[in-house]
């Protein structure tokens, strides 16, 4: 089993990272973590190459991500919530999934034949809502051929309690691990 983890957090040892660590300690098989703040992945430039061709003209680390998306069984999106949305760097990375949308919409091709399971972990201090960020994450997961998506796992009061001490979040992590395994 292979799991792709898209980490939208700028903090290497923050709350999002602590929840990702719990997931990686429990899942079987191999996993690959793409940290949106530390990878060399540019946002989509709307060149429209993918309207008529497979792939993307930007030659960066996203090429490796595209390969792993084809192979993996599970995809996890984990992100802090900024202004009720996924982080900007994660959205930059997500914009590069435009090639999959164009493949299906314009070229009438199936860009990712292998179905996957998806899950979303969101972390926030509590000022905003998680619904919009979860909706965006689900759209990204659908474009990566995740038809079965786990219910949202969140830790929404990290200004008061670390995510690793959030009992509901920890139960949600265990549920994601089980979901990915079956």
- Domain total in the chain: 1
Question: Would the pTM count as exceeding 0.75?
Answer: yes
- Using the predicted structure, report yes or no on whether residue 101 has a pLDDT greater than 90: yes
- Using the predicted structure, report yes or no on whether residue 126 has a pLDDT greater than 90: no
- What percent of the chain stands above pLDDT 70? 99
Average pLDDT, the chain: 96
Distance CA 118, CA 126 (A): 24
The per-residue pLDDT for range 39-58, each reduced to its tens digit, is: 999 999 999 999 999 999 99
Measured from the Cβ of residue 157, the count of other Cβ atoms closer than 10 Å reads: 15
Distance CA 179, CA 173 (A): 10
| Predicted local confidence at residue 32, as pLDDT | 98
Mean pLDDT of 173-182: 97
Measured from the Cβ of residue 1, the count of other Cβ atoms closer than 10 Å reads: 13
- Using the predicted structure, report yes or no on whether residue 127 has a pLDDT greater than 80: no
- Using the predicted structure, report yes or no on whether residue 106 has a pLDDT greater than 90: yes
Residue 158, domain CATH: 3.40.50.360
Q: Among positive and negative, which fits the CA dihedral 36, 42, 46, 49?
A: negative
- Using the predicted structure, report yes or no on whether residue 95 has a pLDDT greater than 90: yes
The per-residue pLDDT for range 137-160, each reduced to its tens digit, is: 999 999 999 999 999 999 998 999
| Predicted local confidence at residue 129, as pLDDT | 87
Give the residue numbers spanning the domain of 21.
Answer: 2-181
């Amino acid at each position: 089993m292979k799991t792709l983890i898209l980490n939208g957090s700028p903090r290497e040892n923050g709350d999002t990272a602590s929840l990702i660590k719990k997931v990686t300690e429990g899942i079987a098989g191999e996993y690959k973590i793409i940290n949106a703040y530390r990878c060399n992945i540019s946002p989509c430039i709307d060149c429209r190459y993918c309207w008529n061709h497979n792939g993307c003209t930007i030659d960066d680390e996203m090429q490796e991500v595209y390969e792993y998306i084809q192979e993996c069984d599970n995809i996890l999106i984990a992100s802090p919530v900024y202004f009720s949305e996924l982080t900007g760097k994660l959205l930059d990375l997500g914009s590069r999934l435009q090639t999959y949308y164009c493949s299906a919409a314009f070229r009438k091709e199936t860009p990712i034949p292998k179905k996957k399971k998806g899950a979303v972990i969101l972390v926030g201090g509590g000022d905003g809502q998680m619904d919009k960020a979860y909706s965006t994450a689900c759209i990204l997961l659908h474009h990566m051929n995740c038809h079965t998506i786990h219910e949202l796992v969140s830790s929404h009061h990290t200004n008061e309690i670390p995510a690793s001490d959030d009992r509901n979040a920890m139960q949600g992590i265990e549920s994601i691990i089980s979901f990915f395994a079956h």
